[in-house]
Amino acid sequence: MRISFSPQRRDDKLVLEKSNGDRLRINGELFNFNPLNDGDVIPEGEVPCDWIVGPVEKIGGELRLTLILPHGPNPSQAVAFPQPMTATADGPIAVPNDPEPEETDDVDA
């Protein structure tokens, strides 16, 4: 499974998990792409998921899709310009992200 990302300024999170071949859980919702055959394309907007942008394709036996990658107001280069990733093993997928800023206790002097 090859996942590309389209960065977007958003305050929500993206959590991914791959299971059983071409099944992808996106923020808790399961999408089963196992029925796709090589060369099949699901056009953009046909999958009922706001996180998927662009078509979902099976090329050379590999599922390919693009997901929105949410980021904060000052993303790192790795998040602003993420590289596509390949997920082969079942389980959680590490999504490019920046660490949460540490909260500080402001004290007026």
Residue 26 CB coordination number (10 Å): 20
Per-residue model confidence as pLDDT tens digits over 14-37? 999 999 999 999 999 999 999 999
Q: Is residue 15 part of a domain?
A: yes
pLDDT at 79: 94
What is the arithmetic mean of pLDDT over 99-103? 68
pLDDT at 106: 60
Q: Is residue 109 part of a domain?
A: no
What is the arithmetic mean of pLDDT over 75-81? 94
Q: Is 25 exposed, middle or buried (0-12, 13-18, 19+ CB in 10 A)?
A: middle
Please count the structural domains in the chain. Answer: 1
Q: Is residue 49 part of a domain?
A: yes
d(CA 109, CA 35): 64
For 2, phi then psi, to 5°, come to -105, 120
pTM equals 0.88
